A and B are shown apart, each in its own frame.
Chain A
Amino acid sequence: MGSSMKTSPKISVRSLDFFYGGVKAIDAVSLDFPVQRVTALIGPSGCGKSTLLRCLNRMNDLILYSRAEGEVLLDNENIYDAGVDVVSLRRRVGMVFQKPNPFPKTIFENVAYGLRVNGYRDRRLVEEKVVQSLHQAALWDEVKDRLHDSALGLSGGQQQRLCIARALAVEPEVVLMDEPASALDPIATQKIEDLISQLKEAYTIIIVTHNMQQAARVSDITAFFYLGKLVEVGETDNLFTRPKLKQTEDYITGRFG
């Protein structure tokens, strides 16, 4: 694994297998995600990168007949241990999805949602957090005069930044992003990428992307997956300029996919 990771990992995956029914989607993956870094997961469709991402907040629990074997350590605690509270795990490990998925509620209520379900009652505090999160997601200036309009009236790019604000409001420690810009135009994509670069100051970010340039632009570490296996991982600059394996080189140069 990456030799240059000096800080201790925020999340550490240890020989993880994941099955959909009888199909093995992740095969003996071990990988560390360092704190305050952006780690990109790349690889062709069906390589298991999204599945791995969804193992990190146990979102895969929702899939019937699926099971995970191995360990995922968050701050050295295995999130698959029997006593773990999945609900509070998911508050600590936030998620932004491929397609913007704001609730059919107002802009304000979308961001306030996570606070409300986590028991925040004080109106002033909720308001404060909502404003702060919208600022963090670089959306405040565009929505400050329409906080009580429906979120579905926003553009796709704005909706995705709203979803990021919504995720940040509950103060997660890790933010998982599943191809967060794949449904967006280049300008909206750039805004999301700028945002990711700012957010890594405070969060551990793990992003799945199909876009090689995006991985090169936003990430510090890149992990390449193929057929459920981790093929190669390293500092993004090294992996893209001097990949160790032929398979990695073929993929990042577009010779197979």
Chain B
Amino acid sequence: MHMGDAIAGDERVNSQDSLSRRGSRGGLRPEIRGGLTRSRKVVQASMFSLFRVAAVINGVALLIIVAFVFGKGFRAINWTFLTQPPMDSMTAGGILPCIIGTLCLSLGAIAVALPIGVASAVYLCEYARPGRLLRMIRLAINNLAGVPSVVFGLFGLAFFVIYLEMGISILAGSLTLGVLTLPVIIGSAEEAMRAVPNTYREASLGLGATKWQTIYRVVLPAALPGILTGAILGLSRAAGETAPIMFTAAVFFTPSLPKSIFDEIMALPYHVYVLATAGTEIEKTRHLQYGTALVLIVLVLGLNLVAIVYRAHLRRKRMG
């Protein structure tokens, strides 16, 4: 350090030399005091602001959407709207069949996707050995996540509705939505299971538990909050999708409520789409469209809330 200073001060070496010394031993002190620090501070501060702005944009976007839908739609909300079927060529009345339909479809989708998804995650996380099969399965799951939702709709039409002769039905729609939400469920379930410390597995096996007992009694319970998070995401996704159900489950109009899983139904997102594009009185039903959208948002938030409260309860119980 001292030697470096002496050389730099006394011999007045050219800038090239002092640059090359910076890395070794001499000439560090000026940078600590001077300009470099200031410019780094500026970069630091501006990057921080940039990231903060990016984060704030998220919140603002959500706020605007909710406020917009709420402002335009809450006028339409009343008891009749929530408890009656549509009337007068869907320009009046309510949306009860759509609410019931969307509830059936999204819960049906979770009923399909959760067991298959968690089982897949168990295989990927606990049983599969690294190799070509595992790589292929992962590739397939990632690609499944990237398939456009309308393609799922067409697949559902071709496979469930026509080939398996389910017809336009809650069953066909739930299966289609289930396949669509599988990657979300698998991804979050696998992540949650990988986050379970290996020491739990070792402790369990060390007590003479089998692998399956270890998974069923230790790993899955410990991963449950994370798995629930995935279920919430999947449910929200399923409830809001239009394209996959328009060929498989939802119809333009039906005043009756479904009696079995083989019945066709109305659904909230498809109803918004229908009112906004296909009706004869698009302007007249504008408030009904926003009202329907508002109900959809509230429904999804409500379903999420149930899962979030349950998850919090699980975590509290665990921490004691």
Q: A-side interface residues toward B, CB under 8 Å?
A: 57, 59, 62, 64, 87-88, 90-92, 94-95, 97, 99, 101-106, 113-114, 116-118, 149-153, 163, 166-167, 170
Contact = CB atoms under 8 A, between A and B. Distances in A.
B59 interface: no
A246 to B, nearest CB: 37
Given A99-B199, A101-B202, A117-B213, A167 B207 contact: yes
Contact of B205 (A59, A88, A106, A118): A59
A117 to B, nearest CB: 4
Contacts of B319: 150, 152-153
Contacts of B203: 95, 97, 101-103, 163, 166
Given A87-B210, A117-B207, A104 B202 contact: no
A177 to B, nearest CB: 11
Given A114-B209, A153-B319, 13 more contacts: A87-B208, A90-B206, A90-B207, A91-B208, A95-B203, A97-B206, A99-B199, A103-B200, A117-B204, A117-B213, A150-B319, A152-B320, A163-B203
B318 A152 contact: yes
Contacts of A102: 203
A150 B207 contact: no
A97 B208 contact: no
B283 to A, nearest CB: 57
Contacts of B221: 104-105
A150 B217 CA distance: 16
B222 interface: yes
A189 B72 CA distance: 67
B16 to A, nearest CB: 47
A153 B320 contact: yes
A95 B200 contact: no
Interface string B158-178: 000000000000000000000
Contact of A117 (B197, B208, B320): B208
A229 B42 CA distance: 57
B129 interface: yes
User: Which 6 A-B pairs have CB atoms at the shortest separation, nearest pair first?
Assistant: A150-B320, A91-B208, A114-B207, A153-B320, A101-B199, A117-B209
A211 B49 CA distance: 50
Interface centre among A94, A104, A153 (most CB of B within 10 A): A104
Contacts of A104: 200, 221-222, 318
A97 B199 contact: yes
Given A64-B129, A117-B217, A151-B320, A101 B197 contact: yes
B317 interface: yes
A27 B208 CA distance: 28
B107 interface: no
A102 B318 CA distance: 11
Interface size range of chain B in the complex: 20 to 34
A88 B206 contact: no
Interface of B: 129-130, 197, 199-210, 213, 217-218, 221-222, 317-320
Contacts of B218: 103
Contact of A57 (B199, B206, B317): B206
10 contacts: A57-B206, A59-B206, A64-B130, A87-B208, A91-B207, A94-B206, A101-B202, A102-B203, A117-B209, A118-B208
A45 to B, nearest CB: 19
Nearest to A90: B208
B205 A62 contact: yes
A67 to B, nearest CB: 15
Nearest to B209: A117
B196 to A, nearest CB: 9
A87 B320 CA distance: 31
Contacts of B201: 62
Given A101-B197, A101-B199, A103-B218, A166 B318 contact: no
Contact of A150 (B130, B208, B317): B317
Given A113-B217, A150-B318, A152-B318, A167 B200 contact: no
A48 B223 CA distance: 33
Contacts of B217: 113, 116-117
Interface centre among B199, B203, B208, B320 (most CB of A within 10 A): B208
Nearest to B206: A95
A170 B207 contact: yes
A102 B203 CA distance: 8
Contacts of B207: 90-91, 94, 113-114, 117-118, 166-167, 170
Contacts of A57: 206
Contacts of B199: 97, 99, 101
Contacts of B200: 101, 103-104
Contact of A97 (B129, B202, B209, B213): B202
Nearest to B318: A104
A115 to B, nearest CB: 9
Given A62-B202, A64-B129, A114 B208 contact: yes
Interface centre among A97, A113, A149 (most CB of B within 10 A): A113
